[in-house]
Structure 1
């Protein structure tokens, strides 16, 4: 029994988002009253509990986000003077207020509990998106709503999409070792307990706070084919290492999108300082055999509008990046406490468009005994553009930003986040929006922006 529990915990740590832990919590809270159970739709007349007892969980969550530009950013009145061209079409945020919704359907199968064989875990995920986000209207290089990047179907940024984003099988061969392969979802990487990850729906919204963008040249945003080995040498250390395709494959045949290969490894160490818990995560990626890199197709960097010529960096150079994040409670723990966090990364800068990044701040769980299930955070980020010739030609500089959020848990299945952001944009010198064969459109650069938002997450 000890081995089974340990393997199940390792699977949850490595293959799924910590914010989704109640998806596999044994179902014991499915049948409680409306305001206590973890899922809005309950136990489905006992069916959900029976499925869980046999190792099968099926979950659906939906996220709706509305953001408003209180001041600054690109001047929407100027952008609206170019109706019908690709600039206005690619700037959904001509309006100062935009809303979008994201859906996540997740199936998990534990082969041991299903009576098949021990140590096997199948994960299938589908995601959808409708509506518009602010896009580049906010003026920042980093998107203000990271939730709206999923699913990241190439060529369909900020469009209504539905795609298979994960189909992974993991087999644990012992308490210390396992393997995983298939269509891997990368959104759970670089996770921080206070700052979240790209998968998070209860932490920061700005991408600059949720991950290290230095990995962009080697790691696709969301979905790709790959295989990894999973390690747990001790109770407080977990790690993975493997190879993935370097291109995003959501919505496409993954076997036809294999431009480049990336080696990746990520390790997490849990520890206690003066009896208070903390964790450190470090990762390394190395990309090779990639002959082109189209900055404009990566939704982590809002460059599509600036690169309407379809210009891509042609390269035969390998690329690498290192990233690190940590958090440390200085009062309490994950059941109620707070402390600082930090996130940082560095890359070779060629062909990677981001040379370095850093984010830091304070985060916490609960507000005393009054609001024990809420969480909150405030912090700042900064990133430095590389000396890649295309980046210099576009006039892209360093970017800084500030963000604060409060995520209120009205019930275990209903969370509402209030969010405010300040952005000092890297695009202040990028005032020529290219139009393919048409002359570039000259616009004033974006002003320092304030963005406010509300996000609602429902777990069905």
Structure 2
């Protein structure tokens, strides 16, 4: 509760401090943030090494067809990112300390219609129930060496990392809502991790290597018995390309974890949990994920500038035991609006399919119901109405994981305000 009060006080302070905003001689139609420059405090803080980025995102969404409640719900996320620049603060070059605090509020429609994958990424993490509505999702040290090497150590929000993915990223706030697009699940990369990432950018390839605790750090500090359940190794290799003068990229991701888990296949012969043979728990050692992704501009007005629209896709394979995901696939098209007068708007249409492990489908856990693979279609359009205000509409049609449930459709409005 104390965390929630402090968080709300911070947002209240920002609003109150901006009441004299007309003194900045900027109108609401041209300033980059609703609350302006805080009587000069915002640029002063930035010049002295502290950048504060508060934002509020609101949703009004509901299920228009499918099994279950058809009512619409209001919900949202208030979040603030604070970046401390070590060099400007009198420390050393390349050092940054980054924090990201998130507070979810309202009532989410996640899980409606028998749907498994969170259809609203922004509200899925850190959560909506009990005390799991607030979390410091990132608190890590970043050290850059030159312009092409960066090491991050601490608690890292991987949804934020995925938000930079061309066409499909955005953390459920700026582009696609469904986690299948915003942060495609592999079963081995938690939403928030405790560990380290090291990136190297070279002319032929961009590399990322990571080592982290396999246990999710959502609603945790990360210091609770770290690496007690094993260690996960992460690596990705990205090859930037140009086709017909337009920017694109191909990437390969490999994840391997030493974390053991209950064998899903063994659940078929056991009607109690955990499954046992004699007195021993049946476990499966280690896990892995292998994925390939691409993105390619089809229309790019200016070379080497991330403007325009194009294709993107991902296909990935997990071990399927003990990881409950077998394979996944997504394909879509999107980017900036092709309407010249609306070039800051974004849109997208995509299809996804997530295959559930056969061991889980056939297990004793599903003796009273049948599981299917989950697939769906999402389309959205988000308009940049003011430099600090975006408003959009989102539609999703999903074939849910529960066989007894009919296809479900969801429609909603989404707005985001840079404070």
Q: TM-score, normalised by structure 1?
A: 0.75
Task: Please name the residue that 2:215 is paired with.
Answer: 247
1:424 to 384, 399, 405: 399
1:58 aligns with 2:52: yes
Task: State the Cα deviation string for residues 50-105 of structure 1 (Å, max 9, x = none).
Answer: 12122320111111112121111x2x3xxxxxxxxxxxxxxxxx453222211211
Deviation at 1:257, TM superposition (A): 4.8
Deviation at 1:311, TM superposition (A): 6.8
Task: Please name the residue that 2:202 is paired with.
Answer: 233
Superposed counterparts of 1:57-456, under 5 Å: 57-72=51-66, 74=67, 76=68, 94=69, 96-152=71-127, 157=129, 161-190=133-162, 191-197=164-170, 199-213=171-185, 215-216=186-187, 218-221=188-191, 223-234=192-203, 237-258=205-226, 259-291=229-261, 315-333=283-301, 336-389=307-360, 392-393=363-364, 394=366, 395-428=370-403, 445-456=404-415
- 2:334–2:346 Cα contact (<8 Å) kept: yes
Q: Secondary structure at the match of 1:426?
A: coil
Deviation at 1:321, TM superposition (A): 0.5
- 1:249–1:257 Cα contact (<8 Å) kept: no
Q: Secondary structure at the match of 1:330?
A: strand
- 1:65–1:101 Cα contact (<8 Å) kept: yes
1:38 to 9, 32, 37: 32
Q: Secondary structure at the match of 1:147?
A: helix
- 2:311–2:332 Cα contact (<8 Å) kept: yes
Task: Please name the residue that 1:27 is paired with.
Answer: none
Task: State the Cα deviation string for residues 370-407 of structure 1 (Å, max 9, x = none).
Answer: 21210000111111111224664422121221111001
Task: Measure, in 2, the Cα distance between the counterparts of 1:70 and 1:403.
Answer: 14
User: CA separation of 1:227/1:43 partners in 2, compared to 1, >3 Å: closer, same or farther?
Assistant: same
Deviation at 1:329, TM superposition (A): 1.0
Deviation at 1:253, TM superposition (A): 4.2
Deviation at 1:274, TM superposition (A): 0.8
Task: Measure, in 1, the Cα distance between the counterparts of 2:85 and 2:213.
Answer: 27
Q: Secondary structure at the match of 1:342?
A: strand
Task: Please name the residue that 1:10 is paired with.
Answer: none
Q: Secondary structure at the match of 1:37?
A: coil
Task: Please name the residue that 1:7 is paired with.
Answer: none
Q: Secondary structure at the match of 2:88?
A: coil
Task: Please name the residue that 2:417 is paired with.
Answer: 458
Deviation at 1:44, TM superposition (A): 0.9
Deviation at 1:360, TM superposition (A): 0.8
Task: State the Cα deviation string for residues 358-379 of structure 1 (Å, max 9, x = none).
Answer: 1112102033222121000011
| Higher mean displacement: 258-267 or 411-420 | 258-267
Deviation at 1:279, TM superposition (A): 2.4
User: CA separation of 1:104/1:188 partners in 2, compared to 1, >3 Å: closer, same or farther?
Assistant: same
Superposed counterparts of 1:20-39, under 5 Å: 32-39=26-33
Task: State the Cα deviation string for residues 308-348 of structure 1 (Å, max 9, x = none).
Answer: x9979963410000223221111125564221111221111
Task: State the Cα deviation string for residues 113-148 of structure 1 (Å, max 9, x = none).
Answer: 333211111101111111221132222222221111
User: CA separation of 1:126/1:257 partners in 2, compared to 1, >3 Å: closer, same or farther?
Assistant: farther
Task: Please name the residue that 1:298 is paired with.
Answer: none
Deviation at 1:293, TM superposition (A): 9.3
User: CA separation of 1:289/1:150 partners in 2, compared to 1, >3 Å: closer, same or farther?
Assistant: closer
How many residues are matched?
374
Q: List gaps (5 residues or longer) in structure 1.
A: 1-29, 77-93, 295-308, 429-444
Task: Measure, in 1, the Cα distance between the counterparts of 2:156 and 2:90.
Answer: 25
Q: Secondary structure at the match of 2:43?
A: helix
Task: Measure, in 2, the Cα distance between the counterparts of 1:336 and 1:116.
Answer: 36
- CA RMSD across the alignment: 2.5
